[in-house]
Every structure is written in structure tokens, then in C-alpha cells.
């Protein structure tokens, strides 16, 4: 594709990458400046062929979710498959539209953005997915894939974009010679680095990583996570790190949000969540991820999540919860119960006593 032919002569300059500075880990979290703010957002999907007696059915993918991602932090988002994590990320990037609620990025309305505003937002927010093989066009050289967003946004000319591609490859720890390779000539870990380079090409401030390392084996997974942490520190990125792997989230996150069946049930600092989980569901998740807790009462909570088409009223975990009482049929509010720790459980004090 003659991408350079389409570039207007007064094309905007290449995004400048901030000079790498050594940033104290967690320092930016103290600033607590909100970058992404999600308020009361709901997303239901129609069930194809669903419905009974003419009543249409919906999947409650996200129900009344509120969440803030602070500038410079890594926010971990955990929960079983189907709890709504990917839907939430796609809503934030406006790859899909929310039914109700409000989402802002650095104060700018995401849901109400027109096409021009959306183009600006897309430069600042990027997402990477689990499978780098399907994310990259097998017929394109890796350099072309990394360059494509720059060309699409009409940034730089061909020569300056190629310089930028080499710089991006270096940032993700790959030799410039990778630019001429094809995806089939690389390992999964190398392709992951390429996908990250492409996501960084437009100089984003926010990166959502949706199960980014699930397809990798343990040693490569650690390398990619460390790369993401380094990039966060060097570029001042803000990360939303989605994973059902609690060890990954513990390794990388400053704060952690826990989702269950379309709702946030607990949010707190990494240490609060892992050392003092207050929601019985969080306790179950953490216990199940720790070999030393195998067989303890928390890891033994049984059963599958109920259907998101007909979720239980009130607390959605109550049918599986060992502490559930009659009052759990009312929706529990998300309450700040300790410094840096918010939970939606009326029995959090009893739950805390069991941990
Ligand atoms: N496009 C869609 N159409 C219908 N249902 C969907 C769609 N996307 C997600 N869902 C449903 O929404 C719920 C949440 O899904 P998802 O956000 O992918 O969860 P997670 O990422 O936590 O596994 C699931 O029940 C899923 O089946
Ligand atoms: Mg998902």
C-alpha cells in the first residue's frame, strides 16, 4: 500500500516519546489524579434466539459499574471468565458503546465523543489482547504492522516512520532487523513485543491489557510483564491489567478491582486486597490461587457463577456465599471500609475475621 502517497504534506509530527526517566514505583499513585473515570455504566447484550413468551432476554455483562483509573497506576482487574472484564475494557476504549452511564478520559467525554474527538482519544488509549498471532496480519512484515497506525493517522513521512519503527522495536527489546520479518518467523513472546510496540506507536497514555500473557509459558510471561512495568515507568503509562491469573495481577498492580457477574465487588490497594481481602468472593479467588491455602474453607466455595441472563437479586454472589443471610437479597452498596479499600458486602467484618 503506498501509504506515503496518502499523507498530506503538512502532516503532524511524530509523537515524541518522553525521555526515559527513572520513576519511583508507586510514586504516581500518591498523586491520585483520575485519568479514566467510569460512572454507573451498564452494558447488556441481547441474547440471540433467546426470550420466552415474546420477552427478550439480555446478558447482564456490566451492571452499574463505577471505577477510576488513576494516572500512572497499574490497575489490576480480576474475576472469573464471563464476569465482564473484557466488556469493561472495550467500553472504556469505546470499541462498544455503553447503554447508560458516563465514561471520561482526562475529563473528556468518551461516550459522547464525535468522530474527530474519537480519533484524538484513540491516540491516547490503546488495547492489547491475549493472542498476538491473530492480532497481526500474517501477510505483513512486522515493521509494516507497527507503522500502520502512524500511517492511518497521517503522522510523519515514510522515512521518519521507519525511524520510529526502529525506535519502538528497541523500546520493546527487539532488534531493528525484526521490521522485515513476518509473524510466522517469530515466537509468541516476540510477537507480543511487536503488538506492544504497535500499541505504543501513537504515544498513548493509557494501555488496556486484556489477558496479555495468558497464551505464554511462565518464563516468557514474566518477561512480558516486566517489559510492561518498565514501559509504564519509562513512559509514564497508565495500565489496566486484566487477568484471571491472580499471580500476574499481584506481581504488576498498584490497585486491584474484583468483578463478579458484571459488578465490581471490591477495590483496594494491592496489599489490602491480597493480604486482607474482605469480600467472600475475593477470598475464594485468592485462596484458590495460593497453593498454601489449598483445601482451606475459602478455596472450597463450590459451584459455577449463576447465569448472567438471570443474575440473582441483591448480592450476585449470595447463592455461593458461605456467609449469606436474608439481608443479602438487597443490593449491598460499595463502601469505603478501610483506607484504600472499598467493598460491596454487608458481612465484610465477619468475612475479615475468617481470613
Ligand atoms: N458481543 C457479545 N454478545 C453477547 N454477549 C456477550 C458479548 N460480549 C460479551 N458477552 C457476554 O457478556 C458477559 C461478559 O463477558 P466478558 O466481558 O467477555 O467477560 P470476561 O472478559 O470477564 O471473561 C459474558 O456472559 C459474555 O458471554
Ligand atoms: Mg475477557
Residue range 112-125, pLDDT digits in tens = 999 999 999 999 99
Minimal CA–CA distance to 146: which of 102, 181, 97? 181
Cα 195 from chain centroid (whole Å): 15
In the chain, which residue ranges form alpha helices assigned H by DSSP? 27-31, 85-92, 115-124, 132-135, 142-152, 158-171, 188-200, 218-235, 246-252, 270-275, 280-289, 348-354
CA distance readout (Å), 208 to 71, 87, 126, 199, 252 = 13, 12, 6, 10, 13
Based on C-alpha coordinates, what's the Rg of the chain?
22
123 CA to centre of ligand 1 in angstroms? 26
Residue whose CA lies nearest to ligand 1 atom number 25: 82
Q: Within a 10 A sphere around the Cβ of 118, how many other Cβ atoms?
A: 12
Domain residue ranges in the chain: 25-44+58-354
84 CA to centre of ligand 1 in angstroms? 6
In angstroms, the CA 80 to CA 289 distance is 12
Query: In this predicted structure, what is the pLDDT of residue 24?
Result: 40
**With 80 as the cut, is the pLDDT of residue 301 above it?**
no
What pLDDT digit, counting tens, does each position of 35-85 carry?
Answer: 999 999 999 999 876 556 666 789 999 999 999 999 999 999 999 999 999
Q: What is the mean pLDDT of the chain?
A: 88
Sheet of 238-242: strand order equals: 125-128, 206-210, 238-242, 74-78, 255-260, 263-269, 341-343, 335-338
**With 50 as the cut, is the pLDDT of residue 217 above it?**
yes
Query: In this predicted structure, what is the pLDDT of residue 5?
Result: 39
- Ligand 1 nearest atom to the CA of residue 83, by list position: 22
CA distance readout (Å), 185 to 140, 179, 196 = 12, 11, 18
CA distance readout (Å), 18 to 46, 58, 203, 287, 297 = 44, 45, 9, 40, 49
Task: Give the ligand at the shortest distance from the Cα of 214.
Answer: 2
In angstroms, the CA 191 to CA 189 distance is 5
What pLDDT digit, counting tens, does each position of 232-249 carry?
Answer: 999 999 999 999 889 889
Q: Which fold has domain 25-44+58-354?
A: Rossmann fold (3.40.50)
- Compute the C-alpha angle 264/265/267, nearest 5°: 80
User: Would the CB of 204 count as within 6 Å of ligand 1?
Assistant: no
**With 90 as the cut, is the pLDDT of residue 258 above it?**
yes
Q: What is the pTM of this model?
A: 0.89
User: Would the CB of 85 count as within 6 Å of ligand 1?
Assistant: yes
163 CA to centre of ligand 1 in angstroms? 39
In angstroms, the CA 54 to CA 31 distance is 52
Cα 307 from chain centroid (whole Å): 23
DSSP 315: S
Lowest mean pLDDT among 18-22, 28-32, 148-152, 252-256: 18-22
User: Would the CB of 59 count as within 6 Å of ligand 1?
Assistant: yes
What pLDDT digit, counting tens, does each position of 138-197 carry?
Answer: 999 999 999 999 999 999 999 999 999 999 999 999 999 999 999 999 999 999 999 999
**With 80 as the cut, is the pLDDT of residue 296 above it?**
no
Amino acid at each position: 500500500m503506498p501509504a506515503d502517497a496518502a499523507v498530506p504534506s503538512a502532516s503532524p509530527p511524530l509523537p515524541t516519546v518522553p525521555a526515559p526517566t527513572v520513576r519511583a514505583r508507586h510514586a504516581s499513585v500518591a498523586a491520585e489524579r483520575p485519568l479514566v473515570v467510569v460512572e454507573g455504566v451498564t452494558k447488556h447484550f441481547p441474547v440471540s434466539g433467546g426470550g420466552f413468551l415474546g420477552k427478550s432476554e439480555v446478558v447482564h455483562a456490566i451492571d452499574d459499574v463505577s471505577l477510576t483509573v488513576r494516572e500512572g497506576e497499574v490497575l489490576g482487574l480480576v474475576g472469573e471468565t464471563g464476569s465482564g472484564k473484557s466488556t469493561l475494557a472495550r467500553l472504556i476504549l469505546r470499541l462498544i458503546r455503553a447503554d447508560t452511564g458516563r465514561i471520561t478520559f482526562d475529563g473528556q467525554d468518551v461516550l459522547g465523543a464525535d468522530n474527530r474527538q474519537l480519533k484524538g482519544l484513540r491516540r491516547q488509549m490503546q488495547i492489547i489482547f491475549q493472542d498476538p498471532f491473530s492480532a497481526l496480519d500474517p501477510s505483513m512484515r512486522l515493521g509494516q504492522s507497527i507503522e500502520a497506525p502512524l500511517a492511518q493517522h497521517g503522522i510523519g513521512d515514510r522515512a521518519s516512520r521507519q525511524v520510529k519503527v526502529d525506535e519502538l522495536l528497541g523500546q520493546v527489546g527487539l532488534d531493528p532487523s525484526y521490521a522485515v520479518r513476518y509473524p510466522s518467523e517469530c515466537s509468541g513472546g516476540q510477537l507480543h513485543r511487536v503488538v506492544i510496540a504497535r500499541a505504543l506507536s501513537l504515544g498513548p497514555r493509557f494501555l488496556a491489557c486484556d489477558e496479555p500473557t495468558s497464551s505464554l509459558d511462565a518464563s516468557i510471561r514474566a518477561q512480558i510483564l516486566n517489559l510492561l512495568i518498565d514501559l509504564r515507568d519509562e513512559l509514564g503509562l497508565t495500565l489496566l491489567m486484566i487477568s484471571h491469573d491472580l499471580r500476574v495481577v499481584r506481581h504488576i498492580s498498584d490497585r486491584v478491582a474484583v468483578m463478579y457477574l458484571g459488578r465490581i465487588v471490591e477495590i483496594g490497594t494491592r496489599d489490602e486486597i491480597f493480604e486482607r481481602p474482605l469480600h467472600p468472593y475475593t477470598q475464594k479467588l485468592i485462596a484458590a490461587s495460593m497453593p498454601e491455602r489449598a483445601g482451606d474453607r475459602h478455596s472450597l466455595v463450590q459451584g459455577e457463577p449463576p447465569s448472567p441472563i438471570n443474575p440473582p437479586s441483591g448480592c450476585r454472589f449470595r447463592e455461593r456465599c458461605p456467609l449469606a443471610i436474608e439481608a443479602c437479597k438487597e443490593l449491598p452498596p460499595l463502601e469505603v471500609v478501610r483506607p484504600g479499600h472499598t467493598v460491596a458486602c454487608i458481612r465484610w467484618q465477619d468475612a475479615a475475621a475468617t481470613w
